[in-house]
Chains A and B, each alone.
Chain A
Amino acid sequence: MTAPLLMAEGLTKRYGGITACAHVSFSLDEGEVLAIVGESGSGKSTLLNMLAGKLAPNLGEVRYRMRDGITRPLDGLSEAERRLLMRTDWGFVHQDATQGLRMNVSAGGNIGERLMAVGGRNYGGIRRAAEDWLERVEIDTARMDHKPTTYSGGMRQRLQIARNLVTSPRLVFMDEPTGGLDVSVQARLLDLIRGLVADMGLAVVLVTHDLAVARLLSHRILVMKHGHVIETGLTDRVLDDPQAPYTQLLVSSVLAA
Chain B
Amino acid sequence: MTSVAEPVLSVRGLAKGFTLHLHGGARLPVVENAAFDLFAGECVVLGGPSGAGKSSILKMIYGNYLTGSGEIRVRHDGMMLDLASADTRTILAVRRRTMGYVSQFLRVIPRIATLDIVAEPALAAGLSAQDARARATALLTLLNLPERLWTLPPATFSGGEQQRVNIARGFAGNHSLLILDEPTASLDSANRDAVLALIHARKADGAAFLGIFHDQEVRDRVADRIVDVSAFAPCLKEAA
Is the Cβ of A220 less than 8 Å from the Cβ of B88?
A: yes
Contacts of A243 in B (CB 8 A): 19, 66
Q: Nearest Cβ distance between residue B112 and chain A, in whole angstroms? A: 6
The reply to whether the CB of A188 lies closer than 8 angstroms to some CB of chain B is: yes
Is the Cβ of B64 less than 8 Å from the Cβ of A241?
A: yes
Mark contacts of A148-191 with chain B using CB atoms, 8 A cut-off: 1 yes-contact digit, 0 otherwise.
00000000000000000000000000000000000000011011
Chain A residue nearest to B23 (CB atoms) is A248
Is the Cβ of A237 less than 8 Å from the Cβ of B66?
A: yes
The reply to whether the CB of A245 lies closer than 8 angstroms to some CB of chain B is: yes
Mark contacts of B28-71 with chain A using CB atoms, 8 A cut-off: 1 yes-contact digit, 0 otherwise.
00000000000000000000000000000001001111100000
The reply to whether the CB of A236 lies closer than 8 angstroms to some CB of chain B is: yes
The reply to whether the CB of A234 lies closer than 8 angstroms to some CB of chain B is: yes
Chain A residue nearest to B120 (CB atoms) is A198
User: Could you say which interface size class chain A belongs to?
Assistant: 20 to 34
The reply to whether the CB of B91 lies closer than 8 angstroms to some CB of chain A is: yes
Interface of chain B, helix or strand or loop or mixed?
Answer: mixed
The reply to whether the CB of A233 lies closer than 8 angstroms to some CB of chain B is: yes
Checking B88, B89, B92, B109 against A216 with a beta-carbon cut-off of 8 angstroms, the contacting residue is B109
Is the Cβ of A234 less than 8 Å from the Cβ of B21?
A: no
Is the Cβ of B111 less than 8 Å from the Cβ of A237?
A: no
Is the Cβ of B22 less than 8 Å from the Cβ of A249?
A: yes
Checking B18, B20, B63, B112 against A234 with a beta-carbon cut-off of 8 angstroms, the contacting residue is B63
Contacts of A190 in B (CB 8 A): 110
Q: Nearest Cβ distance between residue B152 and chain A, in whole angstroms? A: 14
Known contacts A243-B66, A248-B20, A248-B22; is-contact A234 B109 (Cβ 8 Å)? no
For the complex, give the distance between the alpha carbons of A243 and B110 in Å: 29
For the complex, give the distance between the alpha carbons of A184 and B55 in Å: 34
Contacts of A220 in B (CB 8 A): 88
Checking B59, B111, B123 against A240 with a beta-carbon cut-off of 8 angstroms, the contacting residue is B59
Contacts of B21 in A (CB 8 A): 244-245, 248-249
Mark contacts of A178-212 with chain B using CB atoms, 8 A cut-off: 1 yes-contact digit, 0 otherwise.
00000000011011001000100000000000000
Contacts of B89 in A (CB 8 A): 29, 32
Contacts of A244 in B (CB 8 A): 21
For the complex, give the distance between the alpha carbons of A156 and B119 in Å: 31
Is the Cβ of B59 less than 8 Å from the Cβ of A241?
A: yes
User: Could you say which interface size class chain B belongs to?
Assistant: 20 to 34
For the complex, give the distance between the alpha carbons of A240 and B63 in Å: 10
Is the Cβ of B64 less than 8 Å from the Cβ of A240?
A: yes
Checking B19, B64, B109 against A237 with a beta-carbon cut-off of 8 angstroms, the contacting residue is B64
Is the Cβ of A241 less than 8 Å from the Cβ of B66?
A: yes
Is the Cβ of B63 less than 8 Å from the Cβ of A191?
A: no
The reply to whether the CB of A219 lies closer than 8 angstroms to some CB of chain B is: yes
For the complex, give the distance between the alpha carbons of A229 and B89 in Å: 19
Is the Cβ of A237 less than 8 Å from the Cβ of B22?
A: no
For the complex, give the distance between the alpha carbons of A234 and B225 in Å: 31
Mark contacts of A209-225 with chain B using CB atoms, 8 A cut-off: 1 yes-contact digit, 0 otherwise.
00000001001100000
For the complex, give the distance between the alpha carbons of A216 and B63 in Å: 17
Contacts of A97-151 to chain B: CB distance below 8 A: none
Is the Cβ of B111 less than 8 Å from the Cβ of A188?
A: yes
For the complex, give the distance between the alpha carbons of A219 and B111 in Å: 21
Contacts of B80-129 to chain A: CB distance below 8 A: 88-89, 91-92, 109-112, 123
For the complex, give the distance between the alpha carbons of A188 and B89 in Å: 28
Known contacts A29-B89, A234-B91; is-contact A191 B65 (Cβ 8 Å)? no
Report B's interface with A, CB cutoff 8 A: 18-22, 59, 62-66, 88-89, 91-92, 109-112, 123
List 17 A-B pairs, Cβ < 8 Å. Answer: A188-B110, A190-B110, A219-B92, A220-B88, A233-B66, A233-B88, A234-B88, A234-B92, A237-B63, A240-B59, A240-B64, A241-B59, A243-B19, A243-B66, A245-B22, A248-B21, A249-B21
Report A's interface with B, CB cutoff 8 A: 29, 32, 187-188, 190-191, 194, 198, 216, 219-220, 233-234, 236-237, 240-241, 243-245, 248-249, 252
Q: Report the 8 A-B pairs with minimum CB-CB distance, sorted nearest first.
A: A245-B21, A187-B110, A241-B65, A240-B64, A234-B88, A236-B64, A191-B111, A248-B21
Known: A220-B88, A252-B22. 6 other contacts (CB 8 A): A187-B110, A194-B109, A219-B92, A234-B91, A236-B63, A237-B65
